[in-house]
Amino acid sequence: MHIEVLTEDRSGVPVARALIPALLKEAKSDASFSVRPHRGKGYLPKDLTSRPAKFASGLLELLPAKCRAYEKAGGVDVLVVVIDADHDDPSWLYRSLEMTVRQFAPSISFVFGIAVEEMESWLLGDKEAVLAAYPKADQKVIDRYEQDSLVGTWEVLCRAIYKDKAKDIIAEGYPTTGQYKHEWATMIAPHLDPKRNKSESFQRFRQTFLRIVGGRKER
């Protein structure tokens, strides 16, 4: 069995590389998997059947075409998409993803991981992992964070790790913030334990993953 994991950006890669093997172990599966980063979330095209724009590189921009390509090429049993909800309504985003995959990759099972508001909520959901990577992190900031709330999640993580210096990083904005996110993800990911993660969106993802991978017959 082969699983394709699509992530929005490079910081999703270490997280996926840490979580997927742990989940596969839990599911007692020896499936192979590949992690595919993109350059950002992008937007689903208005016409889902159209070809992507030249140099298109966002996950949602490429999703319909990738689904079609995966369906034609074969060799993909499960498609996992890990994406930040950001300002989108998570259920709307879920339905859009589902519609796209069902339409263009009908033979492929899917699991969507929609982080509320963004991926850092999955990292904050595992406080021990954050502290293992950053022992000097401010625990009070992490404790004060309301899991899966819309508060500017990555800023919370930034303040926990960088404390006073956090506001300088936050002020710099994109693309600097992307570089820091990648750094945190790389440092924290190896310590993640899916079972103790407090993020509800992550637990939903975990349960669906176990169900789909456990239920998918070997081809």
Tokens 């394709």, located at residue:
4
Q: 76 vs 213, which CB is nearer to another protein?
A: 76
Over the window 88 to 127, marking each residue x when it contacts another protein by CB under 8 A and - when it does not, the resulting string is ----------------------------------------
What does residue 6 show for φ and ψ, rounded to 5 degrees?
-100, 130
Q: Which stretch binds another protein (CB under 8 A): 53-61, 132-140, 186-194, 197-205?
A: 53-61
Over the window 60 to 79, marking each residue x when it contacts another protein by CB under 8 A and - when it does not, the resulting string is --x--xx-xxx-xxxxx---
97 CB-contact burial (10 Å; exposed 0-12 / middle 13-18 / buried 19+): buried
Tally helices (H) and strands (E) across the chain: 10, 4
- Asked whether position 33 contacts another protein by CB under 8 A, the answer is yes
Q: 22 vs 170, which CB is nearer to another protein?
A: 22
Looking at 1, 17, 22, 52, which residue binds another protein (CB under 8 A)? 52
Least distance CB 101 / another protein (angstroms): 14
Count of residues interacting with another protein (CB under 8 A): 26
Looking at 21, 25, 32, 128, which residue binds another protein (CB under 8 A)? 32
Q: 69 vs 150, which CB is nearer to another protein?
A: 69
Could you give the CA distance from residue 215 to residue 123 in angstroms, rounded to a whole number?
28
Looking at 43, 57, 172, 211, which residue binds another protein (CB under 8 A)? 57
Q: 70 vs 202, which CB is nearer to another protein?
A: 70
Query: What kind and span of H or E run contains 35?
Result: strand 32-37
Over the window 2 to 31, marking each residue x when it contacts another protein by CB under 8 A and - when it does not, the resulting string is x-----------------------------
For CA atoms 218, 101, 64, 34, the dihedral sign is: negative
Query: What kind and span of H or E run contains 140?
Result: helix 139-144
Starting at the edge strand found earlier in the chain, the sheet holding 109-115 runs 32-37, 2-7, 78-84, 109-115
Residues 219/77, Cβ–Cβ less than 8 Å: yes
